[in-house]
Structure 1
Amino acid sequence: MNWAATAHNHEDRGEPRHEVFYRTSAVAANGSRIAIVIVNVSGGGLMARCIDTLNVGDRIDVQLPVLGSATAEIRWALGGRIGCQFDRPVPTHSYFPFLSALRGN
Structure 2
Amino acid sequence: MPPAEVSAAVEKLRLHAYALLHSVVSYETWRGVPTIYMYCLRDNAIDIGVQRMLVEKVACGAGVDIKTETLDSGHSPFYSMPGELVRVTPSATGYGDN
Q: Would the TM-score normalized by the shorter structure come out above 0.5?
A: no
- Which of the two has greater helix per residue? 2
- Which of the two has greater strand per residue? 1
Report the TM-score, using the length of structure 2 for normalisation: 0.31
Report the TM-score, using the length of structure 1 for normalisation: 0.29
Greater relative contact order (CA < 8 Å, ≥ 6 in sequence): 1
